[in-house]
Amino acid sequence: MLFTAAAGLAGPASAGGAPTAADDPYLWLEAVDDSKALDWVRARNSVSQKELEASPDFKPIHERLLAILDSNARIPFATKIGAHYYNFWRDARSVRGVWRRTTLDEYRKKDPSWETVLDLDALAAIEKENWVWKGADCLHPTYDRCLLKLSRGGGDAVVVREFDLNERRFVEGGFTLPEAKIDIAWAGRDRLYVGTDFGPGSLTDSGYARTVREWKRGTPLDDAPEVFGGAKDDVGVALFVADTGSHHYELIRRSITFYSGETLLRVGDEFVTLNVPLDAEVDIWQDQMTVKLRTDWAIGGTVHPGGSLLITDIAGFLAGKREFASLFTPGPRKSLDSFAGLKSALIVNELDNVRNRLFKLQKVDGRWTRAAIEAPAFGALGVSAVDPDESDDYWLTVTDFLTPTSLYLASADKPGRELLKSLPAFFNTDGLQIAQFEAISKDGTRVPYFQVSKKDVKLDGSNPTLLYGYGGFEISLQPAYSAGMGASWLERGGVYVLANIRGGGEFGPDWHQAALKANRQRAYDDFIAIAEDLSKRKVTSPKHLGIQGGSNGGLLMGVMLTQRPDLFGAVVCQVPLLDMKRYSHLLAGASWMGEYGNPDLPEEWAWISKYSPYQNVRKGVKYPRALFTTSTRDDRVHPGHARKMAARMAEQGHDFLYYENIEGGHGGAANNQQQAYMNALAYTFFWKQLK
């Protein structure tokens, strides 16, 4: 588990902000493709590559990682589209990847036969573009047409092209959109909803679409009428179409902040605002509306706590009724992980002290019934519908740190489950165990963490230990089988620790909101408490403790580096936010002010400035050695964050390494080769620093 992407959308590059070169001598590094900046990048890359590739650890780790990523033994997770099951696959032969399909009977086989639908390597060669797959949105219920999203080099900006699934080719004269951060959905065979860059004034300050247009086939996009427009200082306007069975609903979400906004439903020829809390998440299942609460809501004579999942009939709600049933109610250590809508039932996936439990909910004689679903008690469980139009079947994934991930086919209307696919054991788990511990944070909060180590691990403080964290955007970190981490770290004798700090979603909205804005330091205090607990328990010691995180987790790494350099021996900081004075003026940064606050307001900068790594790195302080990694093509978190931090540390005489992939987007890599290489750099760095 080398990387968890930050929640959020992506916006276009923007210089923005008020600082001048006098205030910030490294502003020039924010010019992403400037030749001077890229020369600086290449020079830094060369130093890091020369050192780490020379390590005896690098080659075996790199080769092992690439073999795992290219292995045909990986699970080809599939999505049912019409009569076929589709999978996107990369390996040594298909570097950019192939979109392919098969039948369920064939999929059940150990080695299924696949029909190629689109070969991205062939397309890239013909068009001389470095295409990276970004997904497909297919037309319900015929599923003969899809809107394909392709990115140049892995960024969030995509081109959209209409594709004929029957003919397996792009539709001549079909719907096509030029490169942008695009939000698009089928409203009918000849009608789309489109949010994109329509020119001046069409984007928000965060770089997302401010307007939605209804585009009819055969007409110019520029002539498409606007159906909704948000404010310039909104995060953005998104749209989605819900089709299940015979039910068709068209909705718009106006995001005022990252965590609040309006949801509108099309009724007749107009969109009407749904009267639900601004910070609630609305979804559609069949003819029902679900509402997931972030804060308490008093409705229909009942106060539902934040974290609850409610449901009501859409027609009744539009008629003025406020009769909600509660499908999930949170507890002190219990939260809603996810839910899946099937044809006649819902599967609710709960987290109880960061361990999953599944329940089937079904409406019988006007009342909702709830029944536990038998499932493995260990690890993490994932649930998603196979085809809610046709059946109550669902996919079930089961995983933990030491048990290879398995994929099952199950049904809500019958017991048992069918094992379809399972990963092989990519690394040796003999003698390893999983344990869960708690650290006490600065304010007395109990913060859980998972530890994976040898059963007879020596508690003498000498174990090389990798502590991973994120702590933001209500994202939960759960046990998962990572073949790369296991082969590169656990099998070689390292200890792995996963931190469930505040800011995440492990215990619901309250756990997240406890570390928002002015309270951000709580997330950092939690991580510090876990690091201190590992040393107190003599699992490791600062000399042997390495830490890692990406995106918002990269910010966490930067804060740990500058606040508690005495606690760590090595830091791997990936695609990070680091200059929190400028973050809201770079790419999608303005959309995250609901998480961090607005640094342009003096009262908010007062508390952001206390932890912003770029402003808090100091000359003369002994810091643990750090490896900063980012991507030139990341159009979500600006590579300038990592560049400028590295430049400032170089100016101050600190020892560090830096590597920037020239493509790859926010995930850091655009293909298996790049991913294997970057991960090998990180693991090699840890072994070099922590032995």
Return the active site residues: 551, 666
**To which residue do tokens 């196979």 refer?**
386
CB 24 within 8 A of CB 491: no
* Rounded Cα–Cα distance for residues 638 and 588 (Å): 8
Task: Give, to the nearest 10 degrees, the angle between helix 35-53 and helix 58-70.
Answer: 110
- The greatest distance separating any two alpha carbons of the chain, rounded to the nearest whole angstrom, comes to 72
Virtual torsion, Cα 434, 436, 441, 444, nearest 10 deg: -170
DSSP character string of 194-242 = EES--STT-B-TTSSB-EEEEEETTS-GGGPPEEEE--TTSSEEEEEEE
Cα(301)–Cα(295) distance, integer angstroms: 16
Token pair belonging to 39? 């020369």
Residues in contact with 207: Cβ distance below 8 Å, sequence separation at least 6, in sequence order: 10, 11, 12, 14, 181, 587, 588, 590, 591
Q: Which residue has the tokens 């040796």?
A: 428
| Tokens read off for 490 | 């656990």
Q: DSSP class of residue 324?
A: -
Q: How far apart are CA 115 and CA 117, in angstroms?
A: 6
Other residues' Cβ atoms within 10 Å of the Cβ of residue 487: 20
Provide the β-strand partners of residue 247. Answer: 244
My answer on whether omega of the bond before 141 falls inside 30° of 0, hence cis, is: yes
In the structure encoding, which two tokens stand for residue 169, read together?
């080719």
Tell me, rounded to whole angstroms, the distance of Cα 11 from its chain centroid.
16
Helix axes 521-536, 552-563, angle to 10 degrees: 60
C-alpha span between 500 and 507 (Å, rounded): 9
Q: CA-to-CA distance for 338 and 284, rounded, in angstroms?
A: 14
Specify whether the CB–CB gap between 252 and 238 falls below 8 A: yes
> Any idea how long the chain is?
691
End-to-end CA distance of the chain, in Å?
20
